């Protein structure tokens, strides 16, 4: 774990003032999150919030029959568990590790105390929440109006942004579960991208070869989410 990025690798933690870091950083605990690990189940009380460093956490809505669909992803731009400061002690969603890695864990009670006592923490947390709501809204629109090909492009781009590299270790079955579509649809969409020379897919590893083309093949949903994230990040200096 010595090569693991420090707290400043998470953009929310990096946005904190020196005073806030002195209060919060000693209470953080570095944890390893393996692929497929469920950190919250639907209806479960939130005991900790997680600040991803080099991993991705997916928020899934799970139906009564067991089928599921991803409604948003969280990486080093934010945190998982924001519901604890929005009036909820639990979450209606399942939080699952989409890409393994590390995160810093903070007791939910500590975040609530910071949120209630310091305006800086409220502003940073609410800005992230706004970005998360934008992503959820755009995902709903995308799933309703755009093709599986476009959804896959959007999903790949959002995931890559949160990892900072060109590779994803991900099976087509898991991608299908995230998108809430049949595996055959993902296989066909991935095959088209590979034939176009946009990605290379081998043994559960997706490598993006031509990102500009991947962005051009995606729907406008990705650009909307990226633009909102950048707008909110640019306002960090106003705190």
This prediction's pTM: 0.86
pLDDT at res. 128: 92
- Based on its alpha-carbon atoms, the radius of gyration of the chain, rounded to whole angstroms, reads 18
pLDDT at res. 91: 81
Could you give the domains of the chain? Answer: 7-136 (2.60.120.10), 147-218 (1.10.10.10)
Residues 111-167 have pLDDT tens digits of 999 999 999 999 999 999 998 999 888 888 888 888 989 989 998 999 888 887 788
Q: Report, as an integer, the average pLDDT of 231-236.
A: 69
pLDDT at res. 217: 93
Burial 122-146 (b: 16+ CB within 10 A, else e): eebbebbbebbebbbebbeebbeeb
Task: Provide the 10 A C-beta neighbour count for residue 232.
Answer: 18
The tokens for 167 are 């590779």
Crossing angle of helices 119-145 and 220-234, rounded to 10°: 170
Residues 191-214 have pLDDT tens digits of 999 999 999 988 778 899 999 999
Task: Give the span between the Cα atoms of 145 and 155, in whole angstroms.
Answer: 15
1: confidence class by pLDDT, cuts 50, 70, 90 = very low
Q: Report, as an integer, the average pLDDT of 36-41.
A: 91
């Amino acid at each position: 774990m010595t090569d693991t990025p420090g707290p400043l690798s998470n953009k929310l933690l990096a946005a904190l003032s020196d005073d806030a870091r002195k209060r919060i950083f000693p209470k953080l605990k570095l944890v390893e999150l393996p692929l497929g690990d469920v950190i919250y189940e639907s209806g479960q009380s939130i005991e900790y919030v997680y600040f991803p460093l080099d991993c991705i956490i997916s928020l899934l809505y799970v139906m009564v029959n067991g089928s599921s669909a991803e409604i948003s992803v969280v990486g080093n731009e934010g945190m998982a568990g924001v519901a604890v400061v929005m009036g909820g002690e639990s979450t209606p969603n399942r939080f699952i590790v989409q890409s393994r890695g590390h995160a810093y864990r903070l007791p939910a009670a500590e975040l609530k105390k910071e949120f209630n006592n310091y305006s800086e923490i409220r502003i940073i947390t609410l800005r992230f929440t706004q970005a998360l709501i934008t992503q959820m809204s755009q995902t709903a629109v995308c799933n309703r109006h755009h093709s599986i090909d476009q959804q896959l492009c959007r999903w790949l781009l959002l995931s890559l942004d949160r990892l900072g590299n060109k590779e994803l270790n991900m099976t087509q079955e898991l991608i299908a579960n995230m998108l809430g579509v049949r595996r055959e649809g993902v296989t066909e969409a991935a095959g088209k991208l590979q034939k176009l020379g946009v990605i290379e897919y081998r043994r559960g590893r997706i490598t993006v070869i031509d990102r500009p083309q991947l962005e051009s093949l995606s729907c406008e949903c990705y650009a909307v989410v990226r633009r909102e994230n950048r707008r909110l990040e640019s306002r960090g200096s106003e705190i």
